Each structure stands twice: as C-alpha cells, then as structure tokens.
C-alpha cells in the first residue's frame, strides 16, 4: 500500500513545543505508513532538521524571496509530492496558506493551533486576525487544537460557520512517550531539592521571575534550580553567584534532567499545551504552573498546582515548597496516572493516523 503523504507547513525546525511534538510523531510513525514532509516557511530549516531527517522525514526549505514566492513553492511541493494531507502549524497564517493549496487537489487541509495568542496587537493586527478567522472555514477541512483554549483562539467567533461548512473542529492533545519519561526505580539519596524550568528565552515564558523565586526558596533552606532552554541568559537578570542556580541551555534529551527533578516550574504568561508538563508528570515530577485556561485543562491529571502568573515570587516559592513534599511512592503513582491517560504518545499517534 502506498504511504499517506503528509506535508507540514512550519516556521522552522528549531527547539520548541510544536517542533518537539512533530519530531515525536515522526519517530513513532513508520515511514512505510506515512511519508512526512516538512516545509520550513521561514526559509531556514532549523537546528532539529537533522533529527527529522534521521527519523525518515523529508525537510524542504522555502526559497529566498517574498511571501508569494514561498507560497508558490509550497503549491509546487504539494503537487510534486502528491500530498494527501497538508497540516499547517503557523497559527492564523494557516488560513491563507491552506487556501493557497486548496486548488492542488489535496483532500485534507488541517490547521493546527499550538498556542492561545501571538503577542501582537494594534488595529492592523486585529484586522488580520478577523480576516484570517473568517477565511479559515473556507480554506481548512479540519481545525485542531492542542487544547480547547488554543482551538478557540484560532476559530474566534466563527464556530457556527465552521459547522455550517462541515469543517471538523476538535481538540487533539499532545502525548508523552511513557517509555522514555518515567520515574526512577528508587528514591534519590540526600541532596538539596531540585527545581527545573524548561523553556526558551522569550517574554511569554516569564523567566525573569525564576531568580527571585530561587532566592525566596534559598532564604528558607538549601535548594537547586536548573534552567533548560535556548536563548541565552539576558532575560533572567543578574544570576546568583553563590551556587545552586544553573543554566544548561539546550539539551538533546530532557528525560534524565526530569528524572532528577523534584518540581517543574512553569511561570508562563501564555501556553498552548506544553509537552514538558506531560513529560514531568510522566516522570513523577509535580508541576507548579501559571493559572492559565489551557493548563487548567490538565486538571484531570493530579500533580499540577496553579499560581497566578502575576503573583509575587514569594507566592510562587511557597507553592514550589509544598510540591517538594511529594513522596517517592506518590511520584510513582502520579506517573502511572499519566500512563493510563489520554495524554500518551501512543494515543496521539492513533489519533493523528485516524485524522490523516
């Protein structure tokens, strides 16, 4: 049987949540069943491109030039590859790109919502959002979100039009590979509690509050904090000089770091459905996260404590301190709950294959 050909439109294959989810799916789905092609619309393939190729995916980069040239190249790629499905991961721009490939004969055009905003405002941006949301029901056959909040961001007030035009809208959650992310067999020896943050240096990640939280925790007792993610340290402010606070940057595999963590800290102002939360819970690590609608959708899983993203560092530190008290037995029970939930990679693979 000829494999299904899926063309993904994505900015680039850099370190990020959407890219990580896509890589997990590439590694989990045999190429004999699905040929996955990634079209990097930014004109740059990104640091993870070699890993995608190693997983059997095809990576194609948009040509130099303006938007029209890149859209034209996308249409040619879809035709040349004989694509059965196009999945657009570029937020509201998906409405325009899926419209551009509508005439190529591709039968399924999927807009994928990964987040609940784009940190842009102003009159022109408002007009752009309105136009994109109004156009989406005419260009997409399916609109899927990592969470209900992300889905609502992409659809806006046009849900009734989607239903009238028979466009399927649904939540399709990310999944964690419970074979890779699992708690250690035994409790750790004596060492200071370790708090881990995973996120890029970007304003919506609110990393500026990490050092004040660390200092508030350190004022009570010994603690370590490990910061993982790309983008340098400028957004963190002045780093503590007395040890215990480490910035490790980009890592190829976060699983060993999470297995040695006591708490995952996520003080973001905006999120979609961060895979690292699921990875932490699957590793038996409780999470202290911002009280955001999309994260509240994880309330079906135990182990997540919520704090207002505007809260003071002392309030964040108090929540982290409470989470540290989880016993090793409770951590293993937490991981087992994730293993039996809908948030597994196996479930995600089956959902995507069904959709494609």
Q: For the whole model, what pTM was predicted? A: 0.88
What confidence score (pLDDT) does residue 242 get? 80
* Confidence bin at 187 (pLDDT 50/70/90): low
What confidence score (pLDDT) does residue 40 get? 97
What confidence score (pLDDT) does residue 347 get? 95
Q: Is residue 88 within 8 Å of 62, Cβ to Cβ?
A: no
Reply yes or no on whether the pLDDT at 251 is more than 80: yes
What confidence score (pLDDT) does residue 299 get? 78
Residue 69 host element (H or E): helix 67-81
| Residue ranges of E strands in 276-346 | 287-290, 304-307
Superfamily of domain 194-339: Glycogen Phosphorylase B; (3.40.50.2000)
* Confidence bin at 32 (pLDDT 50/70/90): very high
Residue 25 host element (H or E): helix 17-28
Read off the DSSP letter of residue 284: T
Give the chain's mean pLDDT.
Answer: 92
What confidence score (pLDDT) does residue 325 get? 85
Domain residue limits, the chain: 4-176+343-355, 194-339
Average pLDDT over residues 55-66: 95
Give yes or no on whether 4-176+343-355 and 194-339 have one common fold.
Answer: yes
What confidence score (pLDDT) does residue 122 get? 61
Domain 4-176+343-355 class, CATH top level: alpha beta
What confidence score (pLDDT) does residue 189 get? 61
Average pLDDT over residues 206-221: 95
What is the secondary structure of 162-226 as a DSSP string?
HHHTT-EEEE----B-TTTS---SS---S---EEEEE--S-GGG-GGGHHHHHHHHHTTS--EEE
Model pLDDT for residues 305-353, shown as the tens digit of each residue: 999 999 999 999 999 999 998 888 899 999 999 999 999 999 999 999 9
What percentage of the chain reaches a pLDDT higher than 90?
Answer: 78
How many whole angstroms separate alpha carbon 303 and alpha carbon 286? 5
Reply yes or no on whether the pLDDT at 119 is more than 60: no
* Confidence bin at 109 (pLDDT 50/70/90): very high
What confidence score (pLDDT) does residue 65 get? 84
Average pLDDT over residues 31-60: 96
Reply yes or no on whether the pLDDT at 35 is more than 90: yes
Q: Is residue 4 within 8 Å of 82, Cβ to Cβ?
A: no
């Amino acid at each position: 049987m000829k494999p299904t050909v899926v063309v993904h439109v994505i900015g680039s294959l850099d370190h990020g949540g959407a890219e990580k989810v896509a890589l997990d799916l590439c590694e989990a789905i045999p190429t004999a069943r699905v040929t996955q092609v990634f079209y990097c619309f930014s004109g740059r393939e990104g640091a993870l491109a070699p890993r995608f190729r190693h997983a059997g995916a095809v990576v194609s980069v948009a040509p130099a030039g303006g938007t029209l040239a890149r859209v034209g190249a996308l249409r040619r790629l879809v035709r040349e590859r004989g694509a059965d499905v196009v999945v657009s991961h570029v937020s509201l721009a998906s409405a325009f790109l899926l419209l551009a490939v509508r005439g190529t004969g591709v039968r399924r055009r999927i807009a994928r919502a990964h987040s609940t905003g784009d940190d842009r405002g102003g009159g022109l941006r408002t007009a752009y959002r309105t136009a994109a949301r109004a156009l989406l029901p005419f260009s997409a056959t399916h609109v899927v979100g990592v969470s209900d909040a992300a889905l609502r961001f992409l659809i806006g007030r046009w849900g009734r039009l989607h239903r009238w035009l028979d466009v399927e809208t649904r939540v399709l959650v990310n999944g964690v590979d419970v074979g890779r992310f699992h708690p250690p067999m035994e409790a750790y020896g004596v060492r200071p509690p370790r708090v881990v943050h995973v996120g890029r240096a970007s304003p919506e990640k609110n990393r500026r509050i990490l050092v004040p939280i660390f200092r508030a925790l350190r004022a009570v007792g010994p603690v370590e904090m490990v910061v993982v993610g790309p983008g340098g340290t400028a957004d963190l402010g002045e780093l503590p000089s007395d040890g215990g606070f480490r910035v490790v940057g980009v890592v190829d595999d976060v699983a060993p770091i999470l297995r040695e963590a006591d708490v995952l800290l996520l003080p973001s102002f905006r999120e979609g459905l961060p895979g690292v939360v699921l990875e932490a819970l699957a590793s038996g690590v409780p999470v202290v996260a911002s009280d955001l609608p999309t994260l509240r959708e994880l309330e079906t899983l135990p182990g997540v404590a919520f704090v207002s993203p505007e809260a003071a560092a002392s309030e964040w530190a108090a929540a982290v301190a409470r989470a540290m008290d989880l016993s090793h037995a409770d951590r293993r029970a937490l991981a087992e709950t994730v293993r039996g939930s809908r948030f597994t990679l196996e479930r995600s693979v089956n959902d995507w294959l069904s959709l494609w």
